[in-house]
Amino acid sequence: MTRIPDNAAASPFEACVASLGYQELVGLMKSRHSVRSFDDRPIEGETLAELEHEIDWCNAQAGLSIQLVRDNPEAFDGALAKYGSFRNVRNHFALVGLKGASLDEHCGYYGERLVLLSHSLGLNTCWVALTFRKGGSAAQVGEHEKFALCIAVGYGTDQGRAHKVKPVEQLCRVSKPLRSDSGEIPSWFAAGMDAAQLAPTAMNQQRFRFELETPADHTPSVRAIALPALSCGKIDLGIAKLHFELGANTVSRDWRYV
């Protein structure tokens, strides 16, 4: 089963998604670009409350310890951050959780909820695995926890720019019998792939693949795979899975991951 619950009011992100039609949802994804330069405007008021509420929801849902760390420019004052073109990053989401095999994928999946929610609230973001200083972050990391990576967040000095994406055909596999007579793939799978194609990935590598299968019980099923990647493959997979679910679920919820 997909992980997005039917209860649309469960969190600010669910409410946001429920208020959007398919085109608006894809529009939100299309207009999000990584932004690495921010102005001094603090995150506060209703915007802050929405983000904190969503973080609490994600942490409860997945057993994570995600934190919004505000006014902590020290995490981005090192040479790596400057080399990576980061300017005036004052806030970040610290993606922290118990060490384990599923941590990276969970960070990708729940972190991207925060990225899209932030974007819908007029904020800008950039996923950051390498070009920041973990030791400079004020995030709390427990004894058995790992600080996997972070997401820079704030009001950008620009809106970033679009990057080239791979054609959908390179990102999925659909076996012949599942195609309709006209050769079309099922519309919910196509909607999922259009959304997955827009998922940000480390170094824009897009090393994931979605395979459509029909098992013995005939429930349409999707196998999501992280292909060998230079880094962050499982995190990227989590991000892409969130996008796929969001897109596919606008057409049909009658499918599951295997």
Ligand X SMILES: Cc1cc2nc3c(=O)[nH]c(=O)nc-3n(C[C@H](O)[C@H](O)[C@H](O)COP(=O)(O)O)c2cc1C
Which token pair is 170?
């390179």
Between CA 194 and CA 232 the distance in angstroms is: 22
In the bound state with ligand X, the residue whose beta carbon lies nearer, of 188 and 208, is 208
**Is the torsion defined by CA of 175, 180, 181, 184 positive or negative?**
negative
**Is the torsion defined by CA of 69, 54, 24, 187 positive or negative?**
positive
In the bound state with ligand X, the residue whose beta carbon lies nearer, of 160 and 220, is 160
The contact set with ligand X (CB under 6 A) reads 33-34, 84, 126-131, 160, 163, 200-204, 232, 235-236, 239
In the bound state with ligand X, the residue whose beta carbon lies nearer, of 109 and 127, is 127
Least gap, CB of 163 to ligand X (angstroms): 4
Least gap, CB of 73 to ligand X (angstroms): 16
Between CA 87 and CA 73 the distance in angstroms is: 10
In the bound state with ligand X, the residue whose beta carbon lies nearer, of 4 and 126, is 126
In the bound state with ligand X, the residue whose beta carbon lies nearer, of 123 and 174, is 123
Query: Among 160, 158, 155, which residue's Cα sits nearest to residue 90?
Result: 155
Between CA 245 and CA 238 the distance in angstroms is: 11
Least gap, CB of 132 to ligand X (angstroms): 7
Least gap, CB of 235 to ligand X (angstroms): 4
Pairing mode, strands 91-98 and 67-69:
antiparallel
Which residues lie across from 10 on neighbouring strands? none
Query: Among 137, 127, 114, 118, which residue's Cα sits nearest to residue 84?
Result: 127
Least gap, CB of 33 to ligand X (angstroms): 4
